[in-house]
């Protein structure tokens, strides 16, 4: 059956690739992209687009009614490093946009919501290795606080109003299609661009900073798989842990150096180091594997080859 899908924040790092993937799956006209500004030429040419402020309830409601939207993917957010510079703007965007779509679902104007959480919900007192699905969460960033609050509201709306909302805690994401958008794990994207352009890169995180990461293709596949899962099979309505690979800057540099021997890496940690130090080094995602058969396809070696191949073209 044809679905009618709205993506809010379609021009961001995840939203761009998610929009294209969903259009390939469900048809260009069935997936309405929206953002506060226009996106890439490829995205704009691939199907319908609406200029939309994620914090404007009436504007979202009008688009939902006009296109008879059934599912909303809310990808609009201010990410960790940027949010630390503009805390109240980040809180306003990250929380009010979520309330807007939760309330549309509560009022039965849409059927299903995807909302992304993040490993930023964890804090310095969370177990760092194989971080469990259910554990101590004391986030120390504005972004993490907003995502933890969002998780609680998602579960509340599910239990109180039977809202079908689904979520994953994304690790750091690596993509060659779009530039990073102000996150603490952005070094793992920047490094490939700088390796090809300058043959060197100065990392803003210290050597030995081990973080969970994921290639974008896996992240998109996980997102769509969760949204297609039988609701009866889902045991988590806050947000699922999601894992793929885990590494530090020196490991990704070593993998790049295997392809580009002249590449040199240096380190100059900035304020993002404290954020990274508060996050897990690896994730236990067994619940996602059990509930909806999650399984990553990309490790660091495969990701490195894919990034370099596509950025060289």
Per-residue confidence (pLDDT) for residue 181, from 0 to 100: 76
What pLDDT shows up at residue 230?
Answer: 97
- The answer to whether the Cα torsion of 235, 239, 245, 247 is positive or negative is negative
Distance of alpha carbon 136 from the chain centroid: 22
Which H, E and C letters describe 194-218, residue by residue? HHHHCCEEEECCCCCCCEEEEEHHH
Give the DSSP per-residue string, 47-90: S-EEE--TT-HHHHHHHHHHHT--EEEE-----HHHHHHSHHHH
Which helix or strand (DSSP H or E) is residue 113 part of?
A: strand 112-114
Parallel/antiparallel/unpaired status of strands 211-215 and 245-247: antiparallel
Rounded to an integer, what distance in angstroms lies between the CA atom of residue 51 and that of residue 60?
A: 10
End-to-end CA distance of the chain: 37
How far, in Å, CA of 72 to CA of 261, rounded? 45
Catalytic residue numbers?
143
pLDDT of residue 180: 74
285, 290, 300: which is closest to 242 by C-alpha?
285
The pLDDT assigned to 100 comes to: 98
* C-beta of residue 12 within 8 angstroms of C-beta of residue 181: yes
pLDDT given at position 183? 85
As a whole number of angstroms, the distance between CA 271 and CA 61 comes to 39
Residue 61 CA neighbour count, 13 Å, CB half: 13
| Site of tokens 């961001």 | 12
Q: Could you read off the pLDDT tens digit of each residue along the chain, which spans 313 residues?
A: 578 999 999 999 899 999 999 999 999 999 999 999 999 999 999 999 999 999 999 999 999 999 999 999 999 999 888 999 999 999 999 999 999 999 999 999 999 999 999 999 999 999 999 999 999 999 999 999 999 999 999 999 999 999 999 999 999 999 998 777 778 899 999 999 999 999 999 999 999 999 999 999 999 999 999 999 999 999 999 999 999 999 999 999 999 999 999 999 999 999 999 999 999 999 999 999 999 999 999 999 999 999 999 999 8
Sort residue 26 into left (φ over 0), alpha (ψ -120 to 50) or beta: alpha
Nearest Cα residue to 257 out of 215, 313, 195, 198: 195
Q: What are phi and psi of 102, to 5 degrees?
A: -60, -40
Cβ 230 vs Cβ 166: under 8 Å:
no
Q: Which of 132, 151, 148 is nearest to 140 (CA)?
A: 148
Q: Within a 10 A sphere around the Cβ of 205, how many other Cβ atoms?
A: 23
DSSP H or E stretch at residue 258: helix 249-259
Q: Which helix (H) or strand (E) holds 311?
A: helix 300-312
CA dihedral over 88, 54, 122, 247, signed as positive or negative:
negative
pLDDT of residue 1: 56
């Amino acid at each position: 059956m044809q679905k009618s899908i709205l993506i809010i924040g379609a021009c961001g790092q995840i939203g761009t690739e998610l929009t294209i993937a969903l259009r390939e799956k469900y048809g260009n006209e069935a997936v309405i992209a929206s953002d506060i500004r226009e996106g890439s030429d490829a995205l704009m040419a691939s199907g319908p687009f609406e200029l939309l402020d994620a914090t404007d309830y009436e504007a979202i409601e009008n688009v939902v009614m006009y296109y008879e939207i059934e599912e909303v993917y809310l990808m609009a957010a201010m990410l960790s490093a940027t949010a630390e510079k503009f805390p109240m703007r980040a809180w306003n965007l990250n929380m009010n946009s979520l309330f807007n779509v939760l309330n549309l679902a509560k009022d039965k104007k849409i059927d299903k919501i995807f909302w992304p959480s993040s490993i930023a919900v964890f804090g310095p007192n969370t177990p760092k290795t194989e971080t469990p699905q259910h554990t101590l969460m004391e986030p120390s960033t504005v972004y993490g606080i907003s995502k933890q609050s969002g998780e609680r509201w998602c579960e509340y709306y599910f239990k109180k109003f039977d809202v079908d909302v689904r979520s994953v805690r994304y690790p750091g994401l690596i993509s060659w299609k779009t530039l990073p958008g102000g996150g603490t794990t952005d070094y793992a994207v920047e490094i490939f661009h700088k390796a090809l352009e300058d043959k060197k890169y100065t990392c803003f995180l210290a050597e030995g900073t081990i973080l969970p990461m994921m290639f974008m293709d896996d992240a998109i596949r996980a997102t769509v798989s969760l949204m297609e899962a039988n609701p009866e099979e889902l045991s988590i309505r806050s947000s699922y842990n999601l894992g793929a690979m885990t590494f530090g800057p020196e490991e990704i540099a070593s993998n790049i150096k295997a392809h580009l021997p002249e590449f040199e890496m240096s380190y100059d940690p900035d304020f993002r180091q404290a954020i990274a130090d508060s996050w897990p080094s690896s994730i236990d995602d067994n619940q996602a594997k059990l509930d909806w058969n999650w399984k990553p396809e990309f490790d660091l070696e495969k990701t490195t080859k894919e990034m370099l191949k596509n950025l060289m073209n």
